[in-house]
Amino acid sequence: MNNLHILLMVSFVIFLTSISQAQSSLNPYGDNYRLRVSLYDTVDQPRPNYVFDDNEGWLYGFVNLNNYDFADKTARIVIEKGPYYRQGDEIILYDAVYANHGDSSEAAIALLPGDYDLNDYNWADRAAGLQFPG
């Protein structure tokens, strides 16, 4: 092997290491969550538009979807149990939000882990915020 081949191999190893480090930093809070939520703009799309979990440091466990320009756009939601799931953990979707809370005077729906077509619940394109369990 000449020096060019060795240099290319070392560069490739460094490149792979940097990719691995970048992927592991996507969720700096690790995998110690109770619920993970994937939001889809359409029911049949293969990948979610957004993925949130309750261990990402949300204020009061609340995600205001207006901050992501995704309020009133969710047609499908997938809620997955995490390693720290507790029996009865659920996500609450709010039709309206104020500050960093759901507006409890407006419509809300609670969902257990599962895969939901929100059209079936008359909730497609309505969610403005979501609340993780406390």
Q: What is the pLDDT of residue 22?
A: 39
Q: What is the pLDDT of residue 80?
A: 95
Tokens 């895969």 correspond to what residue? 115
Q: What is the pLDDT of residue 25?
A: 37
pTM comes to: 0.74
Which parts of the chain sit beneath pLDDT 70? 1-30, 57-59, 99-105
Q: What is the pLDDT of residue 26?
A: 46
